[in-house]
Amino acid sequence: MTGGGRRGHNGRVTGARPTIVLASGSPRRRELLEQVGFDVLVDPSHVPEDHDGGHPDRVVLDLAHAKASEVAARHDGLPVLAADTMVVLDGDLLGKPADRGDAVRMLRLLSGRWHDVFTGVVLVPPEGRALERVGHTRVRLADLRDAEIARYVDGPEPYDKAGAYGIQATAGWFVAEVAGSPSNVMGLPLEVVRDLVAEAGLPIPELGAPG
């Protein structure tokens, strides 16, 4: 499951980048995993991101489990990681906008207000049961002008992101405060991934080490 390297006294592979299968086509999730030292094999899930509502913790975990199960069936011997992110405002779950009008609606709702971002993360190790965690971050957007919203939704950025904005890209201009994990708002809470990798007993990437 790794690209070579040597084995330390505890059996873990060192000097190598451990491989993980990402059940998502999100470039942000891939970049986050690569930045901390994983070799990422991208195999997006085709599970529809539909839900019947409920507590956001359960909604994002159920969707992440469905994605992980679908992709893990294609990858014996490799760990599979799946995630699903939702923005929650006043109990309403905001996923990816359906169209321009929906993106405008979401951004107007979020303007000047605190909201919650939940990401369900599921790791399926090569052996053993699936492991799960939820990341939670609070975010406050600045008061958004209609002209800013119009310019933003005329570009491609809002349409593959829960809540119709991406903190790591152009919409960082809108973000006034973040309480919690910034990587969670990007779609993959790295502190959660770190805990799951440790719990599964998988090789840990050597942070900062050359590939």
Q: Which conformational region is residue 91 in: left (phi greater than 0), alpha (psi within -120 to 50 degrees), or beta? A: left
Q: Is 84 a catalytic residue?
A: yes
Catalytic residue among 84, 92, 99, 160: 84
Burial classification of residue 120, based on how many CB atoms lie within 10 Å of its CB (0-12 exposed, 13-18 middle, 19 or more buried): buried
Q: How far is CA 136 from the centre of its chain?
A: 11
93, 98, 104, 110: CA torsion to nearest 10: 10
| The dihedral sign for the CA sequence 127, 198, 183, 137 | positive
- DSSP assigned state of 11: S
3-state secondary structure 127-162: CCCCEEEEEEEEEEECCCCHHHHHHHHCCCHHHHCH
Q: Which residues carry out catalysis?
A: 84
